[in-house]
Amino acid sequence: MEVTRRNFKEALPLIGESIAKADFLVIDTEFTGLINGRDVSMFDSPQEYYNTLLNGSTDFLLIQYGLCAFYWNDEEKHYMNDAYNFFLFPRGRPGPDKIFLCQSSSLDFLSSQGFDFNKLIREGISYMSEPIESRLRENLTERQSRIINDKDPIVIPDEHKSQIEDICKRVRTFLDENKTDEMDIDRCNAFIRRLLFQELGSRFKDEAFVETKVLENKSRVLKVTRIKSPSESKSKDDQKREKEWEEFEEAVGFSKVARMISQSEKLVIGHNMLLDVLHTLSHFFQPLPEDYASFKEFAHCMFPRLLDTKYMSSLPPFKDKVASTVLPHLLQTLSEPPFALPEIPSLPSRGYTCAQDKQHEAGYDAYVTGLCFLAMHAHVTRMRGERCTRVTPDAAVLKPFINKLYLAKTAHQDSPYIHLAGADPSPSRDHVFHLTFPKEWQRNDINQLFSAYGQITVNFLNDTTALVALSRKELAKTVSRAFVDNNRISLVPYVKYKLIAAKSASQPVQRRDDSSERYTKMYVILVSVMFAIAMYYFV
């Protein structure tokens, strides 16, 4: 089911019902970009991985959200799906005017997949984080209260008096002629509109109601409506306040869905879902904390049960049977023996089928992720000699996979996940070195340098530095000794390199001492030169 701002309000009760009846929920997202600046290194620890994404990913916009609720049909003894594909676009007024980054490669990829950017901007559902919502809610309450109790009118500046008086005369004429019930006042800036609200409201309080009207081109005019009875005046004021609250709730938008997912405490599943989780938390809940331990606590509090199918498929018994864990490849592999994809129907217009093949539509990818999960869950259950029926989040079969978010860039270097509810893996890096080499060197030169020590893994940092890992870890000390006298390169153990980098980053910038003799002499010379130049031009 596609959900935009046009049908979001009507769809919200259905979404709530789907979440409430689901055994588990599956999410997927699309962004305007992935990483800004330095990417993750394949040797980063989980904490470093998080810090890199925190600093490089959170300024991109989340533009599509897929939610698929898998619920049990007790009569027919199988799962069914309710799927939703949300277009998201935070718009200003009354929400914040959001500034965000775009990455050309990401937008180009989405465009090649048929993503409708016009629909995104025209019909995207707004959203905001909890702190912004609280602040704007307080501002609106305070503003409405101030209008009701406002006894200190704004003094009209002299330069605007004639314009205000002219408009008031036009309104008087409109009311006296009694030809129509409405009139528009255009070509007024925000300050003039504020003055007119004040003056028209006081002069024609019992005769006319004034409100802002937004045209199709987003320009704003004042709409003056004739009041036919005292009760209508009170009704109009109430309607205006109600409309402001309706617009505010519309601006909160999709955040309500994200919070319903969190409050349900259901098992939430995704594929390679770390970025999905980061963006969900930062856009709909709270800004991500810089402290890594606080992030883990925050994520686990909002979503107490997470499962990443990318991580699940990278472990036995799937590791040796799955050649690629890219989602379409995983789906294909799990549709063949010894695995089997389940049939997951849906009510008309409420879900997906595999035949639709809408790759990279967030709702469809969420549905496919759910299929893959059920296929892997059934396979593991059969291997344990158990009867496969419904998914139980706390079942022993799922415990190895719960609350572990896959780290794609570091997985093959023995650092495969962030454990939200426990200690992260801490693999040895004794076999990894920081290498500084001549700028003209290529990958082959580095391979040749280490040729006597077996295969290596190289992660280039820039034109003259790289991280190098030995496949034969036992040769680490030998390599350190072998290159001590090599003047063309510098080889530093990884642990030492990280300590030096951390120390350098923590050192404050050294400022020049103003009282130093050297600075004083330079200052005197500079002032003398400036004085001489001034005398040359002005004397």
Give domain status of residue 511, yes or no.
no
What strands lie across the sheet with 432-436, from one edge to the other? 456-460, 465-470, 432-436, 490-493
CATH number at residue 483: 3.30.70.330
Name the β-bridge partners of 85: 2, 66
- Give the mean pLDDT of 436-449: 95
pTM for the predicted model, two decimal places: 0.81
- Give the mean pLDDT of 7-32: 97
The pLDDT value recorded for residue 149 is 65
The pLDDT value recorded for residue 40 is 86
The whole-angstrom separation of Cα 286 and Cα 127 is 13
- Give the mean pLDDT of 66-83: 96
Peptide bond preceding 316 in cis form (omega within 30 of 0) = no
Give the orientation angle of helix 292-302 with respect to helix 274-284, to 10 degrees. Answer: 80
The pLDDT value recorded for residue 147 is 67
- Given 373, 398, 419, the domain boundary residue is 419
| Coil/strand/helix, residue 184 | strand
Tokens standing for 205? 């309080």
Residues 154 and 106 in one domain: no
Residues 299 and 219 in one domain: no
Residues 460 and 402 in one domain: no
Look at residue 515 and tell me whether its pLDDT is greater than 70: no
- Of the given ranges (21-25, 270-274, 406-410), which has the lowest mean pLDDT? 406-410
Residues 414 and 302 in one domain: yes
232 — pLDDT class (breaks 50, 70, 90): low
| Residues 145-181 pLDDT 10s | 776 666 567 889 999 999 999 999 999 999 888 888 8
Phi, psi of 456 (to 5 degrees): -130, 160
Contacts of 24 (CB under 8 A, 6+ apart): 70, 266, 267, 268, 269, 370, 373, 391, 393
| Residues 326-341 pLDDT 10s | 999 999 999 999 999 9
348 touches 8 (CB < 8 A)? no
The pLDDT value recorded for residue 150 is 62
Domain of residue 27 covers: 2-128+254-419
Residues 281 and 370 in one domain: yes
The pLDDT value recorded for residue 391 is 93
Instruction: Give the number of other CB atoms < 10 A from CB of residue 185.
Output: 19
The shares of helix, strand and coil residues in the chain, as percent rounded to the nearest 5, are 45, 15, 35
> Nearest CA to 340 among 351, 354, 326?
354
288 touches 295 (CB < 8 A)? yes
The pLDDT value recorded for residue 536 is 41
Look at residue 394 and tell me whether its pLDDT is greater than 80: yes
CATH number at residue 342: 3.30.420.10
The pLDDT value recorded for residue 233 is 61
Give domain status of residue 268, yes or no.
yes
Q: Residues of the chain with pLDDT > 90: what percent?
A: 63
> Nearest CA to 422 among 299, 280, 270, 268?
299
Instruction: Give the number of other CB atoms < 10 A from CB of residue 327.
Output: 20
| Coil/strand/helix, residue 40 | coil
Look at residue 537 and tell me whether its pLDDT is greater than 80: no
Residues 411 and 466 in one domain: no
Residues 74 and 27 in one domain: yes
Give domain status of residue 527, yes or no.
no
Residues 210 and 266 in one domain: no
- Of the given ranges (150-164, 364-378, 481-495), which has the lowest mean pLDDT? 150-164
Our measurement of the distance from residue 191's CA atom to the centroid of its chain's CA atoms, rounded to an integer in Å, reads 35
Give domain status of residue 55, yes or no.
yes
For the ranges 230-234, 307-311, 526-530, 533-537, the one whose mean pLDDT is highest: 307-311
Give domain status of residue 519, yes or no.
no
Lookup result for tokens 């018994």: 317
Residues 243 and 280 in one domain: no
The whole-angstrom separation of Cα 493 and Cα 398 is 38
Contacts of 362 (CB under 8 A, 6+ apart): 28, 29, 30, 64, 65, 66, 85, 86
The whole-angstrom separation of Cα 389 and Cα 122 is 43
Give domain status of residue 530, yes or no.
no
The pLDDT value recorded for residue 421 is 96
What strands lie across the sheet with 182-185, from one edge to the other? 182-185, 220-226, 208-214
Q: How many domains does the chain have?
A: 3
Residues 177 and 220 in one domain: yes
- Of the given ranges (118-127, 199-208, 292-301, 326-335), which has the lowest mean pLDDT? 199-208
- Give the mean pLDDT of 434-445: 95
- Of the given ranges (338-347, 438-447, 520-529), which has the lowest mean pLDDT? 520-529
- Give the mean pLDDT of 21-37: 95
Widest pairwise Cα distance in the chain: 101
Give domain status of residue 97, yes or no.
yes
Residues 54 and 22 in one domain: yes
13 — pLDDT class (breaks 50, 70, 90): very high
CATH number at residue 231: 3.30.1370.50
Give domain status of residue 539, yes or no.
no
318 — pLDDT class (breaks 50, 70, 90): very high
Q: What is the 3-state secondary structure (H, E, C) of 103-165?
A: CHHHHHHHHHCCCCHHHHHHHCECECCHHHHHHHHHHHHHHHHHHHHCCCCCCCCHHHHHHHH
Look at residue 511 and tell me whether its pLDDT is greater than 80: no
Look at residue 361 and tell me whether its pLDDT is greater than 50: yes
State which H helix or E strand residue 81 sits in.
strand 78-87
- Give the mean pLDDT of 179-195: 88
Mean pLDDT (the chain, rounded): 88
Name the β-bridge partners of 25: 69, 268
- Give the mean pLDDT of 297-301: 97
- Give the mean pLDDT of 415-435: 91
The pLDDT value recorded for residue 533 is 42
The whole-angstrom separation of Cα 224 and Cα 178 is 13
The whole-angstrom separation of Cα 11 and Cα 14 is 5
More confident residue, 84 or 146: 84
> Nearest CA to 55 among 302, 296, 292?
292
42 — pLDDT class (breaks 50, 70, 90): confident
Checking 144-147 for CB contacts under 8 A at 24+ apart, the result is 144/241, 144/244
Look at residue 390 and tell me whether its pLDDT is greater than 50: yes
State which H helix or E strand residue 51 sits in.
helix 46-56
Residues 276 and 326 in one domain: yes
32 touches 151 (CB < 8 A)? no
The pLDDT value recorded for residue 387 is 85
The whole-angstrom separation of Cα 65 and Cα 53 is 19
First to last CA, the chain: 80
More confident residue, 383 or 517: 383
